Amino acid sequence: MRSTEHALVGALTSGFATRVLFRHAARPPKLALWAFGTILSVAVDLDHFVVARLKTGSWHSLRAVLAEPRAAVLGNQGWIFADAPPMATARLRSHAALTVALALLCLAARRTRVAVFTTAVLAVHVGCDLLRDREVV
């Protein structure tokens, strides 16, 4: 999915999860969680550059995006990893590993609801990636 699509889905998921998990919290923490979830839903895709580097041995994709950031964010993003081998499975595994790592960090800090929130946001992100990979949406 495009970054803008992930931002929209992340904002909706974060809003719903914040409302359900933190209904008695004050407004500023709710807004912070919503912003965190929205940003996380987009930022988790930065792992694609690491996956591409591992598969190609080059940071070409990252350099291309840094050279054309506006096109990378707002335009058709298909060109970014066009010269990389198929990465769908590795990309989803990386997302799963990041989800588990972040959830465990939250649990270690005794922030169970934040762990559930983080897992929910990233699970929806992965679900959207799967739907897009299978050309359902």
Distance of CA 65 to the CA centre of its chain: 17
Name residues whose C-beta falls within 8 Å of residue 112's C-beta, 6 or more positions apart in sequence.
106
Residue-level pLDDT at 49: 92
Q: Report yes or no on 67 lying in a domain.
A: no
Lowest mean pLDDT among 19-23, 85-89, 92-96: 85-89
Report whether pLDDT(39) > 90.
Answer: yes
Instruction: Look at residue 78 and tell me if it is in a domain.
Output: no
pLDDT band at 82; cut points 50, 70, 90: confident
* Residue with tokens 């699509």, as numbered in its chain: 5
Q: Are 84 and 48 in contact (CB under 8 A)?
A: no
Q: Which residues contact 53 (CB under 8 A, 6 or more apart)?
A: 59, 61, 62
Residue 2 has pLDDT above 90, yes or no: no
| Nearest alpha carbon to residue 62 among 49, 73, 51 | 49
Within a domain: residue 57? no
- Domain hosting 43: range is 3-47+85-133
Q: b/e string for 73-105 if b means 16 or more Cβ within 10 A?
A: eeeebeebbeebeebeebbeebbeebbeebbee
Q: What is the pLDDT of residue 14?
A: 98
Residue 92 lies in a domain: yes
Any domain includes 62: no
Instruction: Report if residue 21 sits inside a domain.
Output: yes
Residue 33 domain-assigned (yes or no)? yes
Give residue 15's pLDDT: 97
Please, are residues 85 and 55 in contact by the beta-carbon 8 Å criterion?
A: yes
Amino acid sitting at position 69: P
Examine residue 60 and state whether it is found in any structural domain, yes or no. no
Considering its fold, how many domains does the chain have in total?
1
pLDDT for the residue numbered 133: 82
